[in-house]
Chains A and B, each alone.
Chain A
Amino acid sequence: MTAADTRAAVTAGAHAHGTTALPATPSAAPTRRRSARSVVGKVLLAASALVIFVMSVFPVYWMVNTSLQPNSQVRGSEVHFWPENGSLQNYIDVIFNYERAPFLPALANSLQITLLTVLIALVFAFLAAVAVTRFRFRSRVSFIIAILIIQMIPAEAMIISMFRVMDSWHLLNSIAGLTLVYVATVLPFTIWTLRGFVDGVPADLEEAAMIDGLSRTQAFWRITFPLLAPGLVATGVFGFIQAWNEFVFALVINPRPEAMTLPVWLRTFLDPNGGTDWAQLMAGSTLIAIPVVIFFLIVQNRMTSGMVSGAVKG
């Protein structure tokens, strides 16, 4: 800590301009060399930013880069850092000339299950969130505790009994079965996050609108709903990503090729004996990642603030 104290004078000056580096700045003589320090600080900051960027992006880049090259080139002795002889052939092969499980039915399954999940979960969660935020009723706290605890139950612990229950309901390898499972797994999180958003819209606002002559329904749709819409979108996107990426239940409950979702479909490419077609595997990975990346980019701001308000403050 004493070393940190000597640094105070230096950083104090630079900090005002927002140019200080992280605590890593080496300690040195005070004020005189401030501008030189701030230049060094700037360079250090930029360098660390660049390192973080490259480390985050490289795997994504490498996936796309590999997916654009022919497999023979990928398995050559030379590594290509740029997709020379690039083509979309791998994507065409993966989508249309499948050897293992077909892509298009898996895509259709994933889309149906995910969209249904989001729709149902949003409606149910919204109703529950309104109940929890706008009413004080007995067993309200128990309900909240139950929701928080359910979130902590690992899916892997449930696979056997979930399999047996779905089997007894004749819902294995069906859209309805997996949708039901996903709605249930997404609901607690969705309720909890929406609760934060509903809480953020003051009830007084609506009442004021009603004093101004709107009916209750009008007040809700004209005042409250528009304010809630961003929260609904963000929460819905989160549910979408969770359902789209889910792997464990899909693997156990919908294993048949015609009932597979995309992650399970991608899993059929893995070959522990070294025969993996990496180029096609990367094309498949990219295809699955694209919708998620797009959604992330759309709602990124809302998502972090939503998560913070949902998880941390009331």
Chain B
Amino acid sequence: MSTVTRPEAPARDDAGAALPDGPPRPKRRGRTGARLTPYALLVPALIILIAVIGWPLLQLVIMSFQEFGRAQVFGAPPEFVGLGNYLGVLGDPEFWQVLGRSVLFAAACVVITMVVGVLVALLMRKLAAGWRLLVSVGLLLAWAMPPLSATIVWGWIFDSQYGVLNYALSEWFGLDFRGHSWLLEPLSFFFVAGIVIVWGAIPFVAFTVFAGLTQVPDEVLEAAQLDGAGPFKRFFLVIVPFLRPILIVVTILQIIWDLRVFTQIYALQALGGLAEQTNTLGVYIYRVSLGTGDFGVGGAISVIVVLFLVAISLYYVRQSLKEDR
């Protein structure tokens, strides 16, 4: 790569040599070396992405059209079954159940996260510096918690026998929650999972929206105020339009993260949830593939999920590209 040098500066590092070749430079050098520079810079990243993402992805697609069970893992040649795996998955009521469950759960988490996150951001804008620092530190701590640690801690708080929540509800509020298992019942399981996920996601939303809020010009807000716009009107007619791109991108990211959630559900199941009734898409793929050893069907589910998520994210991609210009 360091062959891309120019007579006046035989630079050693590619980046240094490459930088000023950018678009602002009107002079166009016709030499092939300079034209190849961007490709040379992309080579390391491309090799890794193709080998470690592209290749397995291709394998996944091929596998999803094959009968691929334990026998194949031990060397038997896989047999192509056409759309067999896909038809099997789409005809399986459990798949639709898991899909519906995941979508509902993600929707609830996203709505709550966005509403609370935006409210926290608005609050931070109004707070005096000292209070804002306090809130920031708290949010930062929650944000920094690794998802697995966070899930385990919440599982401990909700623990049936020694959890602090059951203790507080029973001792302080006189309710009979002694030994109550929060994870056994699916609805209550998802209540706990939702708390873990929303708790972990609010800081990102709040900080990002807060950063966006600082870009809303004060003059515009003041002008709106002089024109008699109340806080609600100011929010929906001034702040929201300004924040639109940020809000949309953050919402899409939340949708995708919550649809593909794995760690929190998996860990809560390990703490005492009933897996069959609480699987979401990510955990379902894991259980079908590694539990039953049916890689072909697991592959078909995976491909469907990937297509589903990519379709959702297309808007995000388009939006990001627009801002790339």
Query: Are A127 and B152 interface neighbours, CB within 8 A?
Result: no
Query: Are A75 and B162 interface neighbours, CB within 8 A?
Result: yes
A154-B305, A184-B52, A288-B146 as given contacts; A216 in contact with B17, CB under 8 Å: yes
Inside 8 A of A126's CB, which chain B residues have their CB? 15
Query: Are B148 and A263 interface neighbours, CB within 8 A?
Result: yes
CB of B309 within 8 Å of the partner chain: yes
In the complex, how many angstroms separate the beta carbon of B75 from the nearest chain A beta carbon?
A: 12
For the complex, what is the distance from the CA of A197 to the CA of B325, rounded to whole Å? 15
Q: Which of A28-36, A45-53, A85-93, A98-106 contacts B (4 or more CB under 8 A)?
A: A45-53
Q: Which of B23, B59, B145, B267 contacts A135, CB < 8 Å? A: B23
CB of B33 within 8 Å of the partner chain: no
Query: Are A149 and B263 interface neighbours, CB within 8 A?
Result: no
For the complex, what is the distance from the CA of A7 to the CA of B225, rounded to whole Å? 11
Inside 8 A of B53's CB, which chain A residues have their CB? 150, 153, 158, 184-185
Q: Which of B15, B119, B228 contacts A127, CB < 8 Å? A: B15
For the complex, what is the distance from the CA of A224 to the CA of B138, rounded to whole Å? 35
For the complex, what is the distance from the CA of A295 to the CA of B126, rounded to whole Å? 28
Q: Which of A5, A216, A308 contacts B212, CB < 8 Å? A: A308
Query: Are A74 and B149 interface neighbours, CB within 8 A?
Result: no
**Quick one: CB contact mask for A7-27 with B, threshold 8 Å, 1 for yes?**
110011001001111110100
Query: Are A153 and B309 interface neighbours, CB within 8 A?
Result: yes
The main secondary structure of chain A at its interface with chain B is helix
Q: Which of B39, B49, B56 contacts A137, CB < 8 Å? A: B39
Query: Are A53 and B16 interface neighbours, CB within 8 A?
Result: no
Nearest-neighbor residue (CB-CB) of B47 within chain A = A124
**Quick one: CB contact mask for A213-224 with B, threshold 8 Å, 1 for yes?**
001110111001
Q: How large is the interface on A (under 10, 10 to 19, 20 to 34, 35 or more residues)?
A: 35 or more
Inside 8 A of A148's CB, which chain B residues have their CB? 313, 316-317, 320-321
Query: Are A20 and B156 interface neighbours, CB within 8 A?
Result: no
Query: Are A281 and B208 interface neighbours, CB within 8 A?
Result: no
A128-B42, A217-B13 as given contacts; A134 in contact with B146, CB under 8 Å: no
Q: Which of A12, A60, A220, A224 contacts B145, CB < 8 Å? A: A60
A130-B19, A266-B148 as given contacts; A312 in contact with B323, CB under 8 Å: yes
In the complex, how many angstroms separate the beta carbon of B287 from the nearest chain A beta carbon?
A: 10
For the complex, what is the distance from the CA of A26 to the CA of B289, rounded to whole Å? 55
Inside 8 A of B285's CB, which chain A residues have their CB? 156-157, 159-160
Query: Are B152 and A56 interface neighbours, CB within 8 A?
Result: no
Q: Which of A55, A165, A274, A307 contacts B208, CB < 8 Å? A: A307
> Which residues of chain B from 46 to 83 have any CB-CB distance to chain A below 8 Å in the complex?
48-49, 51-53, 55-57, 59-60, 63
For the complex, what is the distance from the CA of A131 to the CA of B204, rounded to whole Å? 29
For the complex, what is the distance from the CA of A59 to the CA of B195, rounded to whole Å? 11
Inside 8 A of B267's CB, which chain A residues have their CB? 267, 270
Query: Are A160 and B289 interface neighbours, CB within 8 A?
Result: yes
- How many residues of chain B have a CB within 8 Å of chain A? 131
Nearest-neighbor residue (CB-CB) of A270 within chain B = B270
Query: Are A156 and B282 interface neighbours, CB within 8 A?
Result: yes
CB of A170 within 8 Å of the partner chain: no
For the complex, what is the distance from the CA of A288 to the CA of B150, rounded to whole Å? 11
In the complex, how many angstroms separate the beta carbon of A102 from the nearest chain B beta carbon?
A: 18
Query: Are A59 and B19 interface neighbours, CB within 8 A?
Result: no
In the complex, how many angstroms separate the beta carbon of B221 from the nearest chain A beta carbon?
A: 8
Query: Are B144 and A314 interface neighbours, CB within 8 A?
Result: no
CB of B246 within 8 Å of the partner chain: yes
Nearest-neighbor residue (CB-CB) of A75 within chain B = B162
> Which residues of chain A from 131 to 166 have any CB-CB distance to chain B below 8 Å in the complex?
131-137, 140-141, 143-146, 148-162, 164-165
Tell me which of B53, B161, B212 has the highest count of chain A C-beta atoms within 10 A of its own C-beta: B53
For the complex, what is the distance from the CA of A148 to the CA of B323, rounded to whole Å? 13
Q: Which of B20, B148, B225, B229 contacts A288, CB < 8 Å? A: B148
Query: Are B323 and A305 interface neighbours, CB within 8 A?
Result: no
Query: Are B156 and A66 interface neighbours, CB within 8 A?
Result: yes
Inside 8 A of A53's CB, which chain B residues have their CB? 134-135, 137-138
**Quick one: CB contact mask for B7-22 with A, threshold 8 Å, 1 for yes?**
0110111111111111
Inside 8 A of B145's CB, which chain A residues have their CB? 59-60, 289, 292-293
Nearest-neighbor residue (CB-CB) of B136 within chain A = A300
Q: Which of B92-100, B104-112, B186-194, B295-303 contacts A (4 or more CB under 8 A)?
A: B295-303
> Which residues of chain B from 217 to 265 have any CB-CB distance to chain A below 8 Å in the complex?
225-226, 228-233, 235, 245-246, 249, 253, 256, 259-260, 262-263
Q: Which of B45, B60, B152, B208 contacts A157, CB < 8 Å? A: B60
Nearest-neighbor residue (CB-CB) of A146 within chain B = B49
Query: Are A215 and B9 interface neighbours, CB within 8 A?
Result: yes
For the complex, what is the distance from the CA of A289 to the CA of B39, rounded to whole Å? 39
CB of A112 within 8 Å of the partner chain: no
CB of B167 within 8 Å of the partner chain: yes
Tell me which of B120, B148, B281 has the highest count of chain A C-beta atoms within 10 A of its own C-beta: B148
Inside 8 A of A159's CB, which chain B residues have their CB? 285-286, 289-290
* CB-CB nearest 3 A-B residue pairs: A4-B230, A134-B22, A220-B16
5 A-B pairs, CB-CB below 8 angstroms?
A: A18-B126, A23-B235, A49-B132, A52-B139, A220-B16
